[in-house]
């Protein structure tokens, strides 16, 4: 049965309390939510997405106070980061409380938690009165949704209700930061930049460069966020064979080889590019192209997260973990 899209926060909260699946908007991407304290409800999330159960879910709460129901400790570094960036696109990995079932954390003793920014989303969480586990509301490995309609297209048949919170402002997922060891580790670059985090808590290790990075970042499959159309990263070719699409950070020099072009930010602004990224990728993916060429972003600020998404969208192996 196709699900409903609407703006009824109370209905969405009630459905969540009843153990049903409800998608909702956040500042980053739309999430596919379930009661994080109910393993049966959480199991439906994995089934709907086709997501492997070794990949833990992020738990969303309404406020900094509500985090205490989810985590066992909240160290000083977490306090400083919460003060600086919550509500906002930063997920902190901390030791979990027993109220959070193992299915949410894939059997790990830690849980990823964040306070999302939009007022409507926090009202939903407050009215539900329970922590909500929510991965991005896309089929596993595919392009993340930044509007309610994107969610309906991919997952409409398996969700009870989609709470339309408008298009997502930030446009890429939250940054995931592990605070369970001596040195904080960046598990996934995202909407809060590494530079911003280091300004608050000092040096952060990158999971990609650390020996124990792969164990601490379980969900970082090399192929992810992927369109069906093959995608490669590079500069625009002078001549095209087949129907080519271009995903360009700035205004390109020459668009003649391309059947379809998406410019993420005419003025070269990374914030604007992030907002447009997944929707533009989705449009190119449905334009009947043979290949998409994506130009790389500068490797700083949000460009780091955008390049990460591009590399995963371009990877050809589903199995490698990096």
Q: Which residues bind Mg ion (CB under 5 A)?
A: 136
Regarding 56 and contact with ligand TXA (CB under 6 A), the answer is yes
Question: What is the nearest approach in angstroms of Mg ion to the Cβ of residue 144?
Answer: 6
The single residue among 100, 186, 187, 270 that binds ligand TXA, judged by CB under 6 A, is 187
**Looking only at residues 30 through 49 of this chain, which bind ligand TXA when binding is defined by CB under 6 A?**
31
105 sits near ligand TXA (criterion: CB under 6 A)? yes
* Neighbouring-strand partners of residue 111: 94
177 binds ligand TXA (CB under 6 A): no
Shortest Cβ contact with ligand TXA: which residue? 219
Q: Is 207 in the site for ligand TXA (CB under 6 A)?
A: no
Helix-helix angle 270-285:302-314, to 10 degrees:
20
Q: For residue 134, state whether it binds ligand TXA (rule: CB under 6 A).
A: yes
Residue closer to ligand TXA by CB (options 146, 265) is 146
Residue/partner pairs of 52-55 with CB below 8 Å, 24 or more apart: 52/140, 53/103, 53/106, 54/106, 54/218, 55/106, 55/135, 55/218, 55/219, 55/221
Cα dihedral across residues 210, 137, 77, 170: positive or negative: positive
Identity of the residue, 88 or 135, whose beta carbon is nearer to Mg ion in the bound complex: 135
CA 49 to chain centroid, in Å, comes to 14
Place of tokens 């070269």: 268
* Structure tokens, 301: 């600020």
Among positions 15, 16, 29, 70, the unique one binding ligand TXA when judged by CB under 6 A: 29
| Binder of ligand TXA out of 95, 167, 218, 301 (CB under 6 A) | 218
Of residues 26 and 265, the one with the C-beta less far from ligand TXA: 26
CB 225 within 8 A of CB 143: yes
Q: Residue 226: helix, strand or coil by DSSP?
A: strand
Residues forming contacts to ligand TXA in the complex (CB under 6 A) are: 26, 28-29, 31, 55-58, 89, 91, 93, 105, 108, 110-112, 134-136, 173-174, 176, 187-188, 217-220
């Amino acid at each position: 049965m196709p699900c409903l899209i609407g703006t009824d926060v109370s209905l969405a909260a009630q459905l969540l309390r009843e153990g049903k699946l409800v998608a909702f908007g956040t500042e980053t991407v739309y999430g596919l939510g379930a009661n994080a304290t109910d393993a049966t409800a959480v199991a439906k999330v994995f089934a709907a997405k086709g997501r492997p159960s070794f990949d833990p879910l992020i738990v969303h709460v309404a406020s900094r106070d509500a985090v205490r129901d989810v985590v066992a400790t909240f160290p000083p570094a977490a306090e400083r980061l919460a003060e600086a960036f919550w509500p906002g696109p930063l997920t902190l990995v901390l030791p979990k409380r027993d109220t959070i079932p193992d299915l949410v954390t894939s059997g790990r003793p830690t849980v990823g938690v964040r306070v999302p920014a939009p007022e409507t989303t926090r009202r939903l969480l407050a009215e539900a009165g329970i922590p909500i586990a929510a991965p991005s509301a896309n089929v596993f490995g595919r392009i993340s949704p930044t509007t309610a309609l994107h969610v309906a297209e991919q997952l409409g048949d398996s969700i009870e209700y989609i709470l339309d919170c408008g298009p997502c402002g930030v446009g890429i997922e939250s940054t995931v930061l592990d605070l369970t060891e001596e040195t904080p580790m960046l598990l996934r670059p995202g909407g809060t930049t590494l530079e911003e985090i280091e300004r608050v808590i000092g040096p952060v290790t990158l999971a990609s460069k650390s020996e124990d990075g792969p164990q601490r970042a379980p969900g970082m499959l090399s192929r992810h966020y992927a369109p069906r159309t093959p995608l490669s990263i590079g500069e625009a070719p002078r001549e095209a064979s087949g129907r080519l699409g271009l995903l360009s950070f700035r205004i390109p020099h020459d668009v003649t080889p391309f059947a379809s072009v998406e410019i993420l930010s005419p003025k070269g602004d990374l914030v604007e590019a992030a907002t447009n990224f997944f929707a533009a990728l989705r449009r190119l993916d449905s334009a009947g192209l043979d290949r998409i060429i994506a130009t790389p972003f500068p490797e700083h600020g949000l460009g780091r997260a955008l390049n990460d998404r591009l590399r995963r969208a371009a990877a050809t192996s589903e199995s490698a973990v990096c």
